[in-house]
Amino acid sequence: MFNSREFLPDALIARVVDKRVTDPEYSSRVAANRVRRTSLTLDGKLNILAADHPARRVTKVGDDGIAMADRRDYLARIIRVMQAGDVDGLMATMDIVEDLLTIHGLVRESGGEGLVDGKLLIASFNRGGLAGTAWELDDPVTGPSAETCVEWRLDGAKILLRIGDDDAGSLETVLASAEAITECNAEKIPMFLEPLPVVKTDKGWTVVKTAEALAKIAGVASALGDSSRYLWLKLPYCERYEVVARSTTLPILLLGGESAGSPAPFLTQLASALQAGPNVRGALVGRNVLYPGDEDPLAMASAAGGIIHHGWTVEQALESFGANRGKDLGRLR
């Protein structure tokens, strides 16, 4: 089992806090000197980690209601995933991005290998639709902007768009999404849009994971903003995923949703989705990679990367855990 405290020592977290207190501009200076990719993809595919859940008050993993509220553990898992060679980058809120940049800088200063050189850093724009609130579907941009992405030399942006037919707040989020896409287009910044059809149940807003519902919302999402030229879609898996793939020519990344507690279910969905159409180009996943049951997050990320970048079967991906489990655990010590 992955031991986050041994992997990311409390002493290093204390140094991050100290930088926040004594040198608030440290992370921005690190961002200014970060080695960036020359193109968004290296082979037309992407394997990106999502780490923006706590900012929307989503912290539950399995039976632990506040698992993702432990910032040291959360950062340890993020860094562990970023160690994987077939992980292209991270999508996160700015506080997470800043923590990661700070640790990257501190590790480099100590003579170690950096964490984010050559990796994509993608900013999560809207987290205001807090889980469980009366205004949950009215989800304005509460984080960075296209201007922030330029200033911090980030590689893209992400926005969440949940549409509930019986909630007028969805319209405000549609308008905010269109505006954000237009602003990113002006700066030539790729936008990863996550459009989700939702219905109200006794458990709150629930995503409708049917081919018909996802195909319809993909058509809506593809037309937002002044142009779709830098737009990618992030969509969940469902049966008959080929119907979803055929609803747009935009590239699609698979999302993961709640952790399945073991690697096989998500890896199976990923392999199936990639066969659905030429525009299904990878995954933008969080909890299923960060919290893969008793497995090592790096091994899980590498398995997903093998399917995405090397065309592995699910069986090959599962076999790879033996070689990657526990690999390079001492990198931050």
Contacts of 314 (CB under 8 A, 6+ apart): 264, 267, 268, 271, 307
Distance CA 41, CA 67 (A): 32
Which element (helix H / strand E) includes 291? none
Q: How many CB atoms lie within 10 A of CB 41?
A: 15
pLDDT at residue 283 is higher than 90: yes
Portion of the chain with pLDDT greater than 90, in percent: 92
pLDDT of residue 295: 94
> Reduced to 3 states, what is the DSSP secondary structure of residue 24?
coil
Smallest CA-to-CA distance from 167 within 142, 141, 204 is with 204
pLDDT at residue 333 is higher than 70: no
Distance CA 226, CA 185 (A): 8
Domains and their CATH numbers in the chain: 4-324 (3.20.20.70)
pLDDT at residue 219 is higher than 70: yes
Strands in the chain per DSSP E: 46-51, 89-92, 120-124, 156-163, 191-201, 204-207, 231-235, 252-254, 280-285
Distance CA 237, CA 239 (A): 7
At 29-73, the pLDDT tens digits run 999 999 999 999 999 999 999 999 999 999 999 999 999 999 999
Contacts of 255 (CB under 8 A, 6+ apart): 50, 194, 234, 235, 236, 283, 284, 285
At 115-142, the pLDDT tens digits run 999 999 999 999 999 999 999 999 999 9
pLDDT of residue 261: 80
At 64-122, the pLDDT tens digits run 999 999 999 999 999 999 999 999 999 999 999 999 999 999 999 999 888 999 999 99
> Of residues 261 and 199, which shows the higher confidence score?
199
pLDDT of residue 186: 98
Distance CA 194, CA 158 (A): 8
Q: Identify the DSSP state of 262.
A: S
pLDDT at residue 221 is higher than 90: yes
Portion of the chain with pLDDT greater than 70, in percent: 100
* Model pTM score: 0.96
CB burial of residue 183 (10 Å; 0-12, 13-18, 19+)? buried
Which element (helix H / strand E) includes 151? helix 146-151
pLDDT at residue 4 is higher than 70: yes
